[in-house]
Amino acid sequence: MENEGGEQMKVGLYVCRVREEWKMMLSLDVRVDVAWWLEGGSGQRALRWLLLGRELPLSQASWMVENFEMERGMDQWGEEHWQAYMQRKLEKYERASGDLEARGEIAGKARIGAERGAEVGRMPEPYPAGEWAQLERGAALLAERLRGRQLLAAEAEALLADTSPQLASGWRAAAQLAHLRGRLSITAALEGPATQRQRLAWLGRARSAPRCRRCGSFAGQRVPCAACGLAACAYCEACLALGRSRACALLLRSAAPGGVPRDASQRGTAVAPTEGGLARWGLSPAQSAAAAAALAFLAQPSAGDGPGRFLLWAVTGAGKTEMIFPLLQYILERGGRALVATPRRDVVLELAPRLAKAFPDISLATLYGGSTERWKDAQLTLATTHQLMRFYQAFDLVIIDELDAFPYDINSK
């Protein structure tokens, strides 16, 4: 893979037997995984561990991990069986990718096969034991810096350069350990091609273009890529302004943080709008009724199938902005994180001083193209729509202004 600075980076791929299960995993630094599974870093030792490749294209390795299935007799497999398995999977990946993308993959098959043959079963050195404690601290710091975010590798490097320069040179090892600890996911920025079984399961409704994991759009554009060597590497046009999300680009995604703590006795009950609650904001009777209904919605427990949604619909000038203040207060007072998103930069700049005045004791981050606060970690975030693509399950309350305006309208179909 190649980042914005032009540096090449591939990923490792290995399988391991843990208790009753075989796992296939990719790695940004295989030494970390050796120390984790074979030197006691995880607290449980892998029964078997086999390196399949040290430097494989991320798009392939990520697809193989996602489509890995245990097969009969794997416990008795030797190196030749695993080489044959990799060959079958590579051919299946090429078929699923389609003719255009497969031509680029086939061109590199001989090289990849040679690497695989030389490395299967070859044990790399583990991460130095004397540096493990420092790596643990780095992994914890990196996970905290990336909390609630999803970033391409170049963006992660920019964040660390601004906030934690001590991690700049060793962030890949730290990211791998955070991944093993379940605090980060590491994957390709675009989903891999669908297999024939998946297409049948979807009853033919699968799109041929891969989906972008960052923005959710289908990525139909393909160009020759110097980073991975493909003749036709897919990339997403929809979020191109935030950096090129490619099939071979690394996406780091934070594990979802915990939600707002709530008293179990209050679950499913409405919030009583007290004198100091709604009255503080000087709302009219109609505005107070709407805000009270929204507060009652917030007090309900989240449904098991995902976060709930509430629509506040009123004509221009009805005071919708004022009606969201009690909702923000409810979340912020309980230690939660809130977001207000609007399509236009000028609205962000107009709202920023109003929110700062309404919540003077709360940290506020204002995000738009060219903002100097893009890495600020705040309890309340005000942002243009596109900036939200750098976040992942970061907020307990998301308020979207002008839902029917660009760019929501064209992306909701």
Given a cut of 50, is residue 109 above it in pLDDT?
no
Q: Give the angle subtended at the CA of 28 by the CAs of 22 and 33, to the nearest 5°.
A: 45
Q: Supply the DSSP string of 76-93, one letter for each residue.
A: G--HHHHHHHHHHHHHHH
Whether 143 is covered by a domain: the verdict is no
Whether 95 is covered by a domain: the verdict is no
Percent of the chain exceeding pLDDT 70 equals 78
The structural domain count of the chain equals: 1
Structure tokens that stand for 367 in this block: 């995000």
Whether 359 is covered by a domain: the verdict is yes
| Three-state secondary structure call for residue 55 | strand
The residues facing 2 across adjacent strands are 8
Q: Supply the DSSP symbol for 266.
A: G
Whether 75 is covered by a domain: the verdict is no
Residue 38 contacts residue 45 (beta carbons within 8 Å): yes
pTM of the entire structure? 0.83
Q: What is the mean pLDDT of residues 257-265?
A: 52
One-letter amino acid for residue 53 of the chain = G
Whether 275 is covered by a domain: the verdict is yes
Q: What is the mean pLDDT of residues 298-306?
A: 67
Over residues 53-100, the pLDDT tens digits come to 888 888 889 999 999 999 989 999 988 899 899 888 888 887 777 644
Over residues 217-238, the pLDDT tens digits come to 888 788 888 777 777 788 899 8
The band of 309, judged by pLDDT with boundaries at 50, 70 and 90, is confident
Parallel/antiparallel/unpaired status of strands 150-152 and 250-254: antiparallel
* Cα separation, 271 vs 61, whole angstroms: 49
Given a cut of 80, is residue 385 above it in pLDDT?
yes
- Closest C-alpha to 191, from 211, 216, 205, 207: 211
Whether 115 is covered by a domain: the verdict is no
Residue 90: partners with Cβ closer than 8 Å, 6 or more residues away: 60, 105, 109, 112
Given a cut of 50, is residue 284 above it in pLDDT?
yes
Given a cut of 50, is residue 272 above it in pLDDT?
no
- Write the CATH number for 407: 3.40.50.300
* Cα separation, 175 vs 180, whole angstroms: 9
Better-scored residue on pLDDT, 27 or 126: 27
Structure tokens that stand for 170 in this block: 């060793």
* Burial classification of residue 78, based on how many CB atoms lie within 10 Å of its CB (0-12 exposed, 13-18 middle, 19 or more buried): exposed
| Three-state secondary structure call for residue 71 | coil
Is residue 264 within a helix (H) or strand (E), and if so which, with residue range?
A: none
Q: What is the mean pLDDT of residues 294-300?
A: 86
Structure tokens that stand for 374 in this block: 């893009």
Boundaries of domain holding 381 = 264-411
* Cα separation, 77 vs 410, whole angstroms: 51
Cis omega (within 30 of 0) for bond into 407: yes
Whether 107 is covered by a domain: the verdict is no
Whether 201 is covered by a domain: the verdict is no
- At 100 the pLDDT is 41
Q: Give the angle subtended at the CA of 2 by the CAs of 169 and 217, to the nearest 5°.
A: 115
User: Taking all residues of the chain, what is their mean pLDDT, rounded to a whole number?
Assistant: 81
